[in-house]
A = this chain, B = another copy of it.
Amino acid sequence: MENKLDLNRLCVHTQTTKPWDLETCIKEYSKAGIQHLSIWRHLLENQNLKEVRRTLQDHQLSVTSLVRGGFFTAVSQSDRKAAIEVNKKAIDEAEAIGAPLIVLVCGADPNQSLETSRAQIADGIHELLPYAKAANVKLAIEPLHPMYAADKSAVVSLAQANDIAEQLNHPFVGIAIDVYHLWWDNQLEQEIERCGKNNSIFAFHVCDWLSPTTDMLNDRGLMGEGTIPVKQIRNWVEQAGFQGPIEVEIFSERLWKKNQTAFLNEIKEAYIQHT
């Protein structure tokens, strides 16, 4: 049904197959002909990172990104300093496993204004950049859907992410464009173009928006199941110069209940048909 060439750019997030541990993800993705993965940090706890790196190489799997850093916002300065340390540890981990990029969920705090949070985010990334550069690990701001503005990310549009990236103006900071978070925005095409002109498109994430969506976190759809014009957005991203992996990042209680090997086949089909 597909050949290996079709899957050349397919990347799967380990959280997409949440029931699997890291070892199973690596074996199963490899067996399925997948060549890229993004690794969620909790799977690296109590792991020997050199061995993880070797296992990935043995399975010819390339790490697209480590997910996720960020959460720079807090009312107290000591909490914000602690967040910088957590991010440095994430950078260390990314370097150790050979991940060239960390995706940032930037944070928000319901006890302060969005403007304050946005300023803290820019400050936090600014402070991290020398450390990231020394480790040769890039940082991608991921604007989230506005429904997460209160507590997960004060950055809720590509325009805002572009503003921050332009303000920081550093080759190690760019943006992760996720169709789930941004599809509703009628400025999306022009902001993707702007992002591309800045060489700031560091990652591209796909899934779908179900109608109705029954849960704000874990009811994403597989590409083709929902309302997002994934192919159109991919086309905009590629017109803007992006040629990296297409990352499938789906959180879904419904899909996690499936046999995950069968689900991985559905992902490959959906990637070929609807992405």
Measured CB to CB, the residues of A under 8 A from B are 110, 113-115, 118, 145-147, 149-151, 156-157, 159-160, 183-186, 209-213, 216, 226-227, 229
Bound complex: CA A185 to CA B157 (Å)? 8
Q: Which of B146, B150, B227 contacts A185 (CB 8 A)?
A: B146
How far in angstroms is the closest Cβ of chain B from A179?
12
Contact A213 B150 (CB under 8 A): yes
A-B contact sample (18 more), CB < 8 A, given A113-B229, A146-B146, A150-B210: A110-B211, A110-B226, A114-B186, A118-B186, A145-B146, A145-B147, A146-B147, A146-B184, A147-B147, A149-B184, A149-B209, A150-B209, A151-B211, A157-B185, A157-B186, A159-B186, A160-B186, A213-B216
14 contacts between A and B (CB under 8 A): A110-B226, A113-B229, A114-B184, A118-B186, A145-B147, A146-B146, A146-B184, A147-B147, A147-B216, A149-B209, A149-B227, A150-B226, A150-B227, A157-B185
How far in angstroms is the closest Cβ of chain B from A106?
13
Contact A211 B150 (CB under 8 A): yes
Q: Which of B147, B184, B186 contacts A213 (CB 8 A)?
A: B147
Contact A212 B151 (CB under 8 A): yes
Contact B211 A184 (CB under 8 A): no
By a CB distance below 8 angstroms, the chain B residues around A151 are: 211-212
